[in-house]
């Protein structure tokens, strides 16, 4: 047993060493304060963030040996979206003394939310489908009689905890477009929902995970060594992501400005693209390994984090920065929030059956893409209405799943909904 653990420790040297080597140039540039050209900055800082994301994926899988899978995914999602928190809270804090920064805080928040759901979910399904097809071809080469099975990502029953809390949070945040502001009181309510979410997923039963590769090497360590390694990777990766998120985003924005791209669009789309990179990379890794449910589960957990903790933190950061009791939103920001809220409602309604298939991924992506073509206020409200109408139709069609979803966050017995073997990718 000791020799096995020693071998596992040795197997970690190479992959973790590669992570360190890839992250080192970006860290050196950041710590030394060396100014570089935007392209160099994107490559150096981006590579470091991606390396940290790989390490997080390994640690996140291994962490399931000691804590519930839901909590592991939740913590992983929190760390992965730290760049988003850092950038958004910076804008909200600055808005306390400079009201013009409030628009950027709202733009960054809505952009990251819509990017996560409109692009992230469909892209992960595409990656999972390609991995599934590759696995099917390998099976067919061994056994020609293997019948191709339909593809869909099926989430476990305990995913209703995230869906239920996301639905509740969405109903609570309806006050934002109605009042045209995010009040501190609302922020506290959303933060309490987030804290309850972490508590709830921590109570789920822990199953023995199926680990492969580097995660398996970490899991094979002794209990103390495994937990120490997981915690160390979480902490170091979080520090790397926090340190490099700002220069990475700045490099992207600087590059965009050089190309003549509007500042608002840069903050809304290029900066979130940078800050969402770690969680996208982690989700892609899971999907490629055939853990598509875990990949979508992580993006769902990230959505819960953003819609509760991130939105809830903005008015508090604004107040600490010298602002009032509410973060104001102008007409354009209200429009952006309505569009984001409507998209969120559609995402929830699609997952009510705990099944995510290609047609719904295509719909999410198509509606997301339309907003880049249709930029007028009235037209974007039409798209918002389309999101909402489809969502309501789906909720009515799947109404038998609505009450189980709403009550799931408050039920502490294990969720055991059946999954079809063919759908586990």
Q: Find the CATH number of the domain harbouring 335.
A: 1.20.1420.30
Per-chain mean pLDDT for the chain: 83
177 lies in a domain? yes
Query: Nearest Cα to 153, choosing from 297, 355, 290?
Result: 355
Domain count, the chain: 1
- Give domain status of residue 324, yes or no: yes
Between CA 176 and CA 116, with CA 373 as vertex, the angle to 5 degrees is: 50
Contact in structure between 352 and 399 (CB atoms under 8 Å): no
Does 309 have pLDDT greater than 50? Answer: yes
Range of weakest confidence among 243-247, 266-270, 394-398? 266-270
Query: Do the domain assignments include residue 203?
Result: yes
Instruction: With respect to residue 423, please indicate whether it lies within any of the assigned structural domains.
Output: no
Domain that holds residue 42: 2-415
Within-domain flag for 422? no
In a domain, 160, yes or no: yes
CA 137 – CA 132 distance, rounded (Å):
9
The residue assigned the tokens 């992983």 is: 76
Q: Is residue 425 part of a domain?
A: no
- Helix, strand, coil fractions of the chain, as percent rounded to 5: 80, 0, 20
Q: Give pLDDT tens digits for 124-136.
A: 999 999 988 888 8
Least confident of 76-80, 183-187, 300-304, 307-311: 76-80
Query: Of 103-107, 235-239, 362-366, which gets the smallest average pLDDT?
Result: 103-107
Lowest mean pLDDT among 7-21, 140-154, 161-175, 336-350: 140-154
- Any idea which of 41-45, 168-172, 342-346 has the lowest mean pLDDT? 41-45
Inter-helix orientation angle 277-288/69-80, to 10°? 140
């Amino acid at each position: 047993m000791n020799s096995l653990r020693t071998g596992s420790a040795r197997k970690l040297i190479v992959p973790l060493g590669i992570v360190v080597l890839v992250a080192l140039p970006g860290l050196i540039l950041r710590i030394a304060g060396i100014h570089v050209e935007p392209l160099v900055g994107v490559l150096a800082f981006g590579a470091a963030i991606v390396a940290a994301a790989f390490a997080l994926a390994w640690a996140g899988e291994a962490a399931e040996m000691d804590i519930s899978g839901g909590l592991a995914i939740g913590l992983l999602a929190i760390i992965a979206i730290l760049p988003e928190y850092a950038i958004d809270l910076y804008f909200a804090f600055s808005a306390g003394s400079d009201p013009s920064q409030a628009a950027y805080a709202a733009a960054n928040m809505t952009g990251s939310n819509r990017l996560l759901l409109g692009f992230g979910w469909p892209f992960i399904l595409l990656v999972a489908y390609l991995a599934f097809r590759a696995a099917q071809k390998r099976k067919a080469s061994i056994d020609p009689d293997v019948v191709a099975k339909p593809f869909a990502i099926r989430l476990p029953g305990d995913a209703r905890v995230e869906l239920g809390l996301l639905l509740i949070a969405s109903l609570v945040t309806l006050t934002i477009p109605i009042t045209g502001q995010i009040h501190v009181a609302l922020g506290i309510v959303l933060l309490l929902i987030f804290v309850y979410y972490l508590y709830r997923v921590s109570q789920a039963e822990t199953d023995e995970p199926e680990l492969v590769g580097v995660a398996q090497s970490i899991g094979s360590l002794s209990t103390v060594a495994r937990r120490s390694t997981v915690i160390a990777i979480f902490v170091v990766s979080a520090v790397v992501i926090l340190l490099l998120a700002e220069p990475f985003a700045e490099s992207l924005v600087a590059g965009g400005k050089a190309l003549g791209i509007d500042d608002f669009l840069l903050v809304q789309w290029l900066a979130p693209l940078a800050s969402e990179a770690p969680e996208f990379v982690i989700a892609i890794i899971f999907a490629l390994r055939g853990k598509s449910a875990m990949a979508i589960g992580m993006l769902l957990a990230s959505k819960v984090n953003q819609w509760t903790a991130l939105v809830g933190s903005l008015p508090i950061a604004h107040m600490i920065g010298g602002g009032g009791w509410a973060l104001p939103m102008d007409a354009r920001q209200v429009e952006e929030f309505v569009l984001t809220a409507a998209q969120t409602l559609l995402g929830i309604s699609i997952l009510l059956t705990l099944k995510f298939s290609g047609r719904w991924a295509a719909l999410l992506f198509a509606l997301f893409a339309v907003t880049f073509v249709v930029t007028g206020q009235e037209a974007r409200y039409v798209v918002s209405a389309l999101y909402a109408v489809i969502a309501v139709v789906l909720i009515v069609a799947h109404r038998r799943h609505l009450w189980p979803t709403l009550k799931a966050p408050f039920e502490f017995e294990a969720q055991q909904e059946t999954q079809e073997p063919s759908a586990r990718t």
